[in-house]
Amino acid sequence: MGNNYFNTLPLREQLAELAKCRFMDMSEFADGVEALKGKKMVVVGCGAQGLNQGLNLRDSGLDVAYALRPEAIEQKRQSWKNATENGFVVGTYEELIPTADVVLNLTPDKQHSSVVEAVMPLMKEGACLSYSHGFNIVEEGMKIRDDLTVIMVAPKCPGSEVRAEYVRGFGVPTLIAVHEDNDPKGEGLALAKAYAVGTGGHKAGVLMSSFIAEVKSDLMGEQTILCGMLQTGSILCFDKMVEEGIDAGYASKLIQYGWETITEALKYGGVTNMLDRLSNPAKIKAFDLAEELKVIMRPLYNKHQDDIIDGTFSRVMMEDWANDDANLLKWRAETAETNFEKTPAGDVEISEQEFFDNGILMVAMVKAGVELAFETMTAAGIIAESAYYESLHETPLIANTIARKKLYEMNATISDTAEYGCYLYNHACVPLLADFMKGIKTDVIGKGLSVEDNGVDNARLIEVNAALRAHPVEAVGSRLRGYMADMKKIV
Amino acid sequence: MDSRICLENFSVNFDERFHLNNIDWTIEPSQHWVITGTNGSGKSALAAVLAGVGEMESGQISGLPSRVGLVSFEAQAELIAKELKKDDADIMDVIAIGTPVQEMIFENCADPELAAELVEKFGLSHLLDRAFRKLSTGETRKVMLIRALSSKPDLLILDEPFDGLDADTLAMLQQHLASIIDTTPMVMVLNRFDEMPSFITHVAYLEKDGHDGGKLAFKVDRKDESAFAELYQLLHLKTTDLQVPETDPASKLPALDPQQPLVKLTDATIKYDDTVIVDKLNWTIEPGKHWQLSGPNGSGKTGVLSLITGDHPQCYVNDIFVFGFQRGNGESIWQIKQFIGYVSTSLQWEYRVSVSCKNVIISGFYDSIGMYTKSTDSQKKIADEWLALLGMSDRADQPFNKLSYGDQRLLLIARAMVKHPPLLILDEPCLGLDDMNRQLVLALIEKICAGKETTVLYVNHHAEDQIAGIENYLALQKNA
């Protein structure tokens, strides 16, 4: 095991790497998949990302096979079934890796060290090793053989979406990077671009980033706003509603589907649009609550970012890996025992608008979390585009998992790394908000404001609207969403 | 009219030359009907039945009114023929003047006051002394109308009454008709929906039945707005002589070798675990040879199709030749799909993106679900032509997912055809459609089959949905 790679770099390079992120122009992909044509691509791992990326690459005319561990093949495990039923060549590492021009490591983070250690000696001189997440390189400090090219291609969506969008003729936003220390032939970028074309990502927008920027922003986003805030918010809002006498089935439903509904508005028009869905008095209320939450939670966001940047987070988590995931499994079990998790959604109708009207606090929590994560990341030197994708952009995707099967589904869908960070956040955030929650009543969670009329003070409304629109996440968000809208949904 | 007119399983012929078969139809005294339908389906014949014309073959008819006011081309021709006969009958060697208009209108007139008023309104005052047979066609039509309207009929039958009338007269007539709806039930034959007066309550739609017959296919209450809209479209497709729009020259497909088959499957096999769905199928589709593929559920019809379209992952482990490509040699699925137009129920389920109707059609140029590229003006123009063909021009900018199921299907067929693909695959295109929409879809497909560029592969297990022009059949069996 090597040292934390990021920490070995001088500050100047750390800052330069963190700040790497550029939205690439469509014209940069004019060569299509040419750089990979006729090359042998071997995917290691056949889970959701592995299978679906492989299907896309093959349908783009590329040569794809799957290398699996011998026991997966012998026991005909799901990964073996996934690959063979789809008509792929399947073999062991020893059989396939030496033939590969590109090895796509699409196993979970936790297995990266062992997989790469097994694969690297088998790889032929001058081949390419591809990651979809930079944790192994950046946090674990894996050293890759000097003759190998190391790239990252990371579709910013679950594997099933990667496939579904490709079949429609589109793709999902994708982040690519080249590991500067491993680009001996200078072909890393060409290979990464061709790979992104092969999965359809170029149609939805590609961000050119760095391994470091990807890891440090991805970790920050997933453990704070994306998973941590939604978990803490679910638990606190549910318990508060029940305490205030709201029907538990209603409360459960409002939260389970509420995150999805309100973040759908976020997806289309940012924080501004999410708050614009509220009545004027409710909007001002949500704004005030969010301001209060930001003051209370800012130290926690800073701590998460600091621990991520200096490597404390990954060190502590890897200690738990070494301890058979003792903490992770314990915390997972505790989550299953929360009242929210145990109470099924009631059989009640909640209209789309009602999720906003009766979930003002949830709106405030999403706003506070998105803005804090974005502000903390950019303050740490991560560029606004990266910070946007790792905070606001992904929030609706995570909210969808809660709508499917609550926190269990969310934690099962996200990576172990995200799950671990999510619990850390939750453990700190629940007590941190205890006093704040004492002042919360059903007007902001469960029932909605009971106002005589919807009148508000003009000056205050203007202030709130201006503040919403002036936040930097809104500026970069509307620009990036604009790129997307140019390509997608020309309605 | 005090009682309803009732036709039950009624069949009738007209000099043995034309038959109306098994008509079930009830007209209540308060209703006003339009009869419409395709050319030669017997619209005028059905109207004439109500005036007692035709020779009954079987079934029941009751409640026919005693006083019928009938205006039609046939009646007009008959009247003129009678007038000309009077000339022939004149033995004196003088030039006969024939019956004057005055007499034609006022003799045996039930309501002379009304007749006089109408003469004024129709602008016939200066022609009262002229011989009927000297009038122009339009003028005789006006005389016919005045005679019918002033006869205090129990039922007024107007066969294409608006044909050949100038705009002012047309407006005047419509206004007059609207003023008598409470006292006079009406049945009108109209070919064009847009001429339908607002007081019409019901529509009867006729179709051809054999080469010398017609049948009453649909009866629609105007209050049923969706059925009414569908009927409008059906009539539009069946009666207008539109051509399938040209494709976009800029989106032209690469040329295929006409000597090679479009598709050649050799020992094609689909299996999961040890279950074999399709076993060693050999099938060649030559250009210009339309095929119908059938087989029970689970016989692998859709699987075989998806081997051809490249949607089945096992296409890479089969011997498949499509559009010049031996599969699995570095071609992309988009290179395959460009040659295929594809319509199926599952495509319709998958087509869930929110796009306008026009963009759904244009997406056929890109083989995409949804639009992710800016379309060209020429593509937009072609999409407009397709919308016109479908009778959906007014819905160009409406969201696709707000349309009825049948309209969505029609749009997807247009989407599949927009690029004039060498192969059009229609996987149970009528599945889930009601009778009316089924007719609509089949009418559209027949228009397409008549063209030369596209080979049709039609998958269906409804025997009644045969399409003219298909001569090759492949029936899949279910593997035990």
Q: How far is B458 from chain A (nearest CA, A)?
A: 23
Interface list for chain A against chain B, based on CB atoms closer than 8 Å: 33, 37-38, 55, 58-63, 85-88, 167-170, 203, 487-491
pLDDT at site A380 = 95
In chain A, the residue whose alpha carbon lies closest to the alpha carbon of B351 is A168
In chain A, the residue whose alpha carbon lies closest to the alpha carbon of B369 is A168
Contacts of A58 in chain B (CB under 8 A): 316
**What's the rounded mean pLDDT across residues A49-62?**
96
Least confident of A180-184, A449-453, B335-339, B363-367: A449-453
State how far the Cα of A356 lies from the Cα of A353, in Å rounded to an integer: 5
Is A394 annotated to bind a ligand? Reply is yes
pLDDT at site B265 = 97
Mark yes or no for CB contact B369/A38 under 8 Å. Answer: no
pLDDT at site B300 = 85
Q: Using 50, 70 and 90 to split pLDDT, how confident is the model at B327? A: very high
A61, A487, A489 ranked by CB distance to B355: nearest: A489
pLDDT one-digit tens code per residue, A364-396: 999 999 999 999 999 999 999 989 989 999 899
Is A69 annotated to bind a ligand? Reply is yes
pLDDT one-digit tens code per residue, A178-193: 999 999 999 999 999 9
Q: CA end-to-end span of chain A, whole Å?
A: 51
Contacts of B379 in chain A (CB under 8 A): none
Instruction: Please name every residue paired with B162 in a beta bridge, in sequence order, or none if there are none.
Output: none
pLDDT one-digit tens code per residue, A7-46: 999 999 999 999 988 889 989 999 999 999 999 999 998 8
pLDDT at B298 over 80: no
pLDDT at site A17 = 92
| B147: CB partners within 8 A, 6+ apart | B69, B104, B105, B109, B115
pLDDT one-digit tens code per residue, A202-223: 998 899 999 999 999 999 999 9
In chain A, CATH 1.10.1040.10 sits at: 213-487
Is A485 annotated to bind a ligand? Reply is no
% residues pLDDT > 70 (chain A) = 98
A60, A87, A167 ranked by CB distance to B332: nearest: A60
β-strands B5-14, B55-62 pairing: antiparallel
pLDDT one-digit tens code per residue, B176-234: 999 999 999 999 998 767 678 989 999 999 888 877 888 998 899 989 888 888 887 77
What would the DSSP string read from start to end of B169-216?
HHHHHHHHHHHTTTT--EEEE-S-GGG--TT--EEEEEEE-STTEEEE
User: What 3-state DSSP class applies to B58?
Assistant: strand
**What's the rounded mean pLDDT across residues A397-417?**
85
State how far the Cα of A271 lies from the Cα of A262, in Å rounded to an integer: 10
In Å, what is the CA distance from B147 to each residue of B69, B156, B157, B168, B258?
A: 8, 11, 12, 20, 65
Least confident of A129-133, A443-447, A464-468, B464-468: B464-468
What backbone phi and psi angles, to 5 degrees, belong to A336? -65, -20
Least confident of A271-285, A473-487, B35-49, B275-289: A473-487
% residues pLDDT > 70 (chain B) = 91
Is A345 annotated to bind a ligand? Reply is no
Is A157 annotated to bind a ligand? Reply is no
B332, B354, B368 ranked by CB distance to A170: nearest: B368
Mark yes or no for CB contact B375/A61 under 8 Å. Answer: no
pLDDT one-digit tens code per residue, B150-185: 998 999 999 888 876 777 888 899 999 999 999 999
Alpha carbon A350 to its chain's center: 28
pLDDT at site B85 = 66
In chain B, the residue whose alpha carbon lies closest to the alpha carbon of A198 is B332
In chain B, the residue whose alpha carbon lies closest to the alpha carbon of A484 is B372
pLDDT at B93 over 60: no
**What's the rounded mean pLDDT across residues B8-37?**
90
Q: Is residue A368 classed exposed, middle or buried when 0-12, 13-18 and 19+ CB atoms within 10 A define those classes?
A: buried
pLDDT at B92 over 50: no
pLDDT at site B200 = 93
What backbone phi and psi angles, to 5 degrees, belong to B26? -125, 130
pLDDT at B320 over 90: yes
pLDDT at site A491 = 28
Mark yes or no for CB contact A489/B353 under 8 Å. Answer: yes
A87, A490, A491 ranked by CB distance to B313: nearest: A87
Is A49 annotated to bind a ligand? Reply is yes
**What's the rounded mean pLDDT across residues B21-34?**
93
In chain A, CATH 3.40.50.720 sits at: 21-209
Q: Using 50, 70 and 90 to split pLDDT, how confident is the model at B244? A: confident
pLDDT at A194 over 90: yes
Mark yes or no for CB contact B315/A87 under 8 Å. Answer: yes
State how far the Cα of A429 lies from the Cα of A234, in Å rounded to an integer: 12
Q: How far is A459 from chain B (nearest CA, A)?
A: 38
Q: Using 50, 70 and 90 to split pLDDT, how confident is the model at B39? A: low
State how far the Cα of B54 lies from the Cα of B245, in Å rounded to an integer: 42
In chain B, the residue whose alpha carbon lies closest to the alpha carbon of A199 is B332
Are A241 and A360 within 8 A, CB to CB? no
pLDDT at site B2 = 64
% residues pLDDT > 90 (chain A) = 80
Is 3.40.50.720 the CATH number for A21-209? yes
> Residue A143 carries which DSSP code?
P
In chain B, the residue whose alpha carbon lies closest to the alpha carbon of A40 is B330
| A343: CB partners within 8 A, 6+ apart | A238, A248, A249, A251, A252
Mutate to test the interface with A, among B320, B333, B353 (most CBs of A within 10 A): B333
Domain boundaries A213-487, corresponding CATH code: 1.10.1040.10
Per annotation, catalytic residue among A133, A179, A202, A393: A133
Q: Is B311 on the interface with A (CB under 8 A)?
A: yes
Whether A133 is a known active-site residue: answer: yes
A–B interface: beta-carbon pairs under 8 A: 68
Q: CA end-to-end span of chain B, whole Å?
A: 65
Mark yes or no for CB contact B355/A38 under 8 Å. Answer: no
In chain B, the residue whose alpha carbon lies closest to the alpha carbon of A55 is B313
pLDDT at site A296 = 98
Residues 321-360 of B with CB under 8 A from A: 330-335, 350, 353-356, 359
A61, A87, A490 ranked by CB distance to B317: nearest: A87
> DSSP H helical segments within B22-166, as ranges?
43-50, 73-89, 101-106, 112-121, 137-149
pLDDT at site A230 = 96
Q: How far is B318 from chain A (nearest CA, A)?
A: 9
Least confident of A61-75, A90-104, A429-443, B5-19: B5-19
What would the DSSP string read from start to end of A118-141?
HHGGGSPTT-EEEES--HHHHTS-
pLDDT at A83 over 50: yes
Kindly report the pTM of this predicted structure: 0.75
Q: Is B427 on the interface with A (CB under 8 A)?
A: no
Mark yes or no for CB contact B369/A167 under 8 Å. Answer: yes
Are B424 and B457 within 8 A, CB to CB? yes
pLDDT one-digit tens code per residue, B340-384: 999 987 788 778 777 899 999 999 999 999 888 888 999 999 999
Mutate to test the interface with A, among B335, B367, B372, B379 (most CBs of A within 10 A): B372
State how far the Cα of B6 lies from the Cα of B1, in Å rounded to an integer: 13
Are A192 and A7 within 8 A, CB to CB? no
Rama region for A139: left / alpha / beta (φ>0; ψ in -120 to 50; rest):
alpha
A62, A86, A169 ranked by CB distance to B366: nearest: A169
Are B131 and B89 within 8 A, CB to CB? no
pLDDT at B429 over 50: yes
Q: Which amino acid is at B432?
A: G
pLDDT at site B394 = 85
pLDDT at site B95 = 52
Place of tokens 């309550």: B201
Q: Is B226 on the interface with A (CB under 8 A)?
A: no
Is A21 annotated to bind a ligand? Reply is no
Mutate to test the interface with A, among B278, B332, B342 (most CBs of A within 10 A): B332
Contacts of A488 in chain B (CB under 8 A): 370, 372
Q: Is B272 on the interface with A (CB under 8 A)?
A: yes
Is A58 annotated to bind a ligand? Reply is no
Residues 357-396 of B with CB under 8 A from A: 359, 363, 366-375
pLDDT one-digit tens code per residue, B394-428: 889 988 887 777 788 889 999 999 999 999 999 88
pLDDT at B438 over 90: no
Contacts of B358 in chain A (CB under 8 A): none
Q: Using 50, 70 and 90 to split pLDDT, how confident is the model at A242? A: very high
pLDDT at A128 over 60: yes
Mark yes or no for CB contact A489/B399 under 8 Å. Answer: no
CA dihedral (A306, A312, A316, A321) in degrees, to 10, reads 100
**What's the rounded mean pLDDT across residues B429-442?**
72
Is A252 annotated to bind a ligand? Reply is no
**What's the rounded mean pLDDT across residues B34-39?**
82
Average pLDDT, chain A: 93
Mark yes or no for CB contact B354/A489 under 8 Å. Answer: yes
**Rg, chain B, Cα only:** 29
pLDDT at B119 over 90: yes
β-strands B423-427, B455-459 pairing: parallel
pLDDT at site A306 = 97
Contacts of A59 in chain B (CB under 8 A): 310, 332-333
Contacts of A85 in chain B (CB under 8 A): 272-273, 313-314
Domains, in order of start, for chain B: 5-239 (3.40.50.300), 249-475 (3.40.50.300)
